[in-house]
Structure 1
């Protein structure tokens, strides 16, 4: 069984110019927050659309970039 990895090449954050751990953990954090926030955002969309849109975009705009850039490997 293969372990899924995310690879980001061309970065200047480490000497090898490739990141594996940060983007992989970023995807895991993205999936965990999406499982929680997307159903809540869908239910909230009926009442407060702007708030729901921010909630639906939160994993992609905030969680993934912060986790992926926090780990330079």
Structure 2
């Protein structure tokens, strides 16, 4: 029987909380990144066939926008 675990992401050296370490924000940010990537990467690949710049922007959206916004929104 296999166990599917949730990845735990840790970001140390941040000044957004007194502990100087974040666990919840980066972990939820990674999960949001993965969910957005499942949808946006195939769409971006299809758009890339016709419009290269637009397709690249769509495929970069999870890493450039989704992950940083979610990770920064939760200071823990």
- Pair in the same fold by TM > 0.5: yes
Question: Structure 1 pair 3/32, CA: closer, same or farther in 2 (3 Å)?
Answer: closer
Counterpart-to-counterpart distance in 1, 2:36 and 2:16: 26
CA RMSD of aligned residues (A): 1.1
Q: TM-score, normalised by structure 1?
A: 0.95
1:1-73 alignment runs, 5 A limit: 3-73=6-76
Deviating beyond 2 angstroms after TM superposition, the runs of 4 or more aligned structure 1 residues are 1-4
For structure 1, which runs of at least 5 residues remain unmatched after alignment?
none
Q: TM-score, normalised by structure 2?
A: 0.91
* TM-superposed deviation, 1:3: 4.3
Counterpart-to-counterpart distance in 1, 2:39 and 2:32: 11
Counterpart-to-counterpart distance in 2, 1:62 and 1:4: 20
SS in 1 for 2:9: coil
